[in-house]
Amino acid sequence: MHLSSMYDILVRIAKSKESNPDYLAHIVQRLRPINYKNTAYSVDRFNDFIFILEKDDFLLSGFREYIHRLIKNRKFSLLIADLGIVSSGGFRREIFKRFYHKILPIQPPENSMDYLVTNVFYHRKDHRWFSAIGEKSWQKLFDLLSFKPISELNNDSFVISELLFSIELLALRISGTAMDYSLLRMLPEYSGFDSPFINLQKDISIMVDGFKQGTHKRAEDDINVKQVKILIKQCQDYLKKAMENKERYGISFFTTIKFVRIQQQLDRLEFILNYLVENNEQKSEHIKTIHFLNQIIRLNAKKNNIREFLRTSTSLVAYQITQHTGKTGEHYITESRAGYRKMFFSAAGGGVIVGILCIFKAMLSNIDTSPFGQAFLYSFNYAMGFIAIYLFHFTLATKQPAMTAATLAKALKPERKGEVSYSNFADLFARLFRSQFIAFIGNVFLAFPVAILLFLVWKYVFGSDFLSAEHSRQMLNDVNFFKSKAIVHAALTGVFLFLSGLISGYYINRNIHDRISLRIKKHPILRKFFPDKALEKIANTYNKHIGGIAGNFLFGIMLGSTGAIGMFFGLDLGIRHITFAAGNLGLALLGLNFDITIGDIIIAVLCIGLIGFFNFIVSFVLSMIVALRSRNLKLFDIKPIFDAIWVRFKQNKRDFFFPPPKKIYALKEEAESLIVHTEKENEE
């Protein structure tokens, strides 16, 4: 069946004198497997195709003439210079472009090679079966079609001219983008030196002119080719050094896209150059062309891949954001008993403020207003409370995972031998877990009694009760996983906690990258009204607190507006936070005059514990995913991570809840100091 189908297409091609691309598309369709994993199907079909051509001279001659007519003088310089390279339009534009082109593929001019690749190899898995066929089989086809190897083509041939033009085009684009201020400021120490990007463009122009005039050979040992390759390496080193300064100068999505674009263009330039120049080690005549075509088809398959673009472009910014939250997060991980006690009192302070917020929210719920008005009031209450917790240096327990995940991810960085120390990670996780545990205790143990105390004080002073029995019963049901979606809402709150951590890091990074503090300090109009010392103080305050204030403010808005958004869309959305749940439980008990069963209390206590767990685990897992991605670590390492944590837990469960005794801690410090001293001596 397949043989006859392929034969019929070849007969139609041999009888026709047209250069219709649809014929080639039909042949590729016969080679393409239904299941992309079944590459053996393509290998068998391709062998059948070769067999037909070898046995029938009429079909071979007709197919050979058809292919030569089809590809003759089809321009491909723009195809190989642009294919798969991010555009210069920015992050959002690139996302929209890929999404739009995925739904409605772009159609290049019909006389271009891009048109052939787009309409023949349109499936996103075509590169898999193409490469599975193998070099020998493809070489046999190229021999049957009388294709000349790249090494036998003259410098004035159409193919070589297109390759040379694509190289010059890439060099011009690279040098132009590299001169952008947003990139130059990342490496100011090189501002006085000749840019390797400018020199690259000049030397490529000299090399291309030498090839065209015949004064230089297309060979790896040619002096111009060697110089261009050296400059490509220098440009790549330049980008690497500039990226090492991202913590110092910050980085934006706009700058990230430019870095990604230049790196892709340098890689493409090197790829085309390696194909163009002769390589004495090449055994097969057509093997370079086969590899070249395979790469073009692979790039075509991924040109609209949104996930690939996000993976490439967001890791740099994600690193910078998590790097800043990670520095803050180091303060949230206790080790000694003194730090453990300090965390408890800090969390207790946070619990006091949350208890006050619970009272305010209960009062605000009695105001007759629109859903938007209620969302505004709730958001303002939450935001001001969280900012107060931050400014008073108190702790909200569930904020810790988003801030500490980057610190944990650093522990997964491979050591000198290239192996990850999962035991070190497990030790650090144990410290985080007990820090989170004591923060939970501090928050809950204060939020509950403070809410009750303030309610009683209000009732005593004003003689009024702002909690109805119906409202109190609803608050009790909110901490009952049988009567509400408490666990789902707790998980949603964990997502918001994760986002608040990213927001904090984003604003810190933005401040560094845009130098906002310096701009405030040097603002020409503000300097007319404020003395320099006042502006410096304002700038320093902004620099120190913008991340924490922005993250907490927007976290409050997310919590306060979730219910109104759910109401608008007809969804049962809500938030459950362990500390607020504890405070609300206290208010519900008073509002119902303690007229509840022991079973309700037990369920409420268990539910509050589960709310805290899901607040923690969702926020932590999401933050870890971003932190691992930002450091190009594999997400598949999650199993050995959990295995190491479980082994550590079985060895000493106490360490996950309480700090080690003073003697053990002192011995541990001495051992770590000895290890560091030994490593330094070995390095010397």
**Tens digit of each residue's pLDDT (9 = 90 or more) over 321-365:** 555 554 454 456 777 888 888 999 999 999 999 999 999 999 999
**What is the distance between the alpha carbons of residues 550 and 508, in angstroms, rounded to a whole number?**
9
Summarize the confidence of residues 126-145 as an average pLDDT.
90
What pLDDT digit, counting tens, does each position of 446-476 carry? 999 999 999 999 888 887 778 888 889 999 9
Per the CB < 8 A criterion, the answer to whether 266 and 174 are in contact is: yes
Contact between 256 and 312 under an 8 Å Cβ cutoff? The reply is: no
- Which percentage of the chain shows pLDDT scores above 70? 85
Task: Find the DSSP H helices in 392-485.
Answer: 400-411, 422-462, 469-478
Cα(107)–Cα(101) distance, rounded to whole angstroms? Answer: 10
Q: Could you count the other beta carbons within 10 Å of the beta carbon of residue 528?
A: 7
Cβ contact 390:549 at 8 Å? yes
Cα 484 from Cα 493, distance rounded (Å):
15
Cβ neighbour number for residue 462 with a 10 Å cutoff: 9
Q: How far is CA 403 from CA 12, 331, 486, 557, in A?
A: 66, 9, 24, 19
Burial class (CB in 10 A: 0-12, 13-18, 19+), 336: middle
Q: pLDDT band at residue 634, thresholds of 50, 70 and 90?
A: low
Residue 675 has pLDDT above 50, yes or no: no
Average per-residue pLDDT for the chain: 84
Q: Which residue has the tokens 């009272």?
A: 359
- pLDDT, average across residues 17-42: 89
Q: Is the pLDDT of residue 310 over 80?
A: no
Q: Which of 391, 160, 148 is nearest to 275 (CA)?
A: 160
Indicate if the pLDDT at residue 317 is higher than 60. Answer: no
Mean pLDDT of 651-678: 62
Q: Which two tokens stand for residue 584?
A: 């609300």
Q: What is the pLDDT of residue 397?
A: 77
CA–CA dist 362, 466 (Å, integer): 7
At residue 653, the pLDDT reads: 86
pLDDT tier at 509, thresholds 50, 70, 90:
confident
Backbone angle region of 577, left / alpha / beta, with phi > 0 → left and psi within -120 to 50 → alpha: beta
CA distance from start to end of the chain: 72
**pTM across the whole model:** 0.72
Question: Which pLDDT value is given to residue 651?
Answer: 86
Average pLDDT over residues 500-504: 84
Task: Mention every residue, 6+ apart, whose C-beta is less than 8 A from residue 398.
Answer: 493, 494, 497, 577, 578, 579, 612, 615, 616, 619
- Whether the predicted pLDDT of 226 surpasses 80: yes
| CA distances in angstroms from 79 to 114, 162, 299, 390, listed in the order given | 6, 10, 10, 53
User: pLDDT tens for residues 97-125?
Assistant: 888 888 888 888 888 899 999 999 988 88
Please name the residue that has the structure tokens 């989170």.
436
For residue 103, CA distances in Å to 88, 96, 98, 304 come to 21, 11, 9, 10
Confidence category of residue 318, pLDDT binned at 50, 70, 90:
low
Predicted local distance difference test score (pLDDT) of residue 312: 66
The superfamily (CATH) of domain 318-651 is Glycerol uptake facilitator protein. (1.20.1080.10)
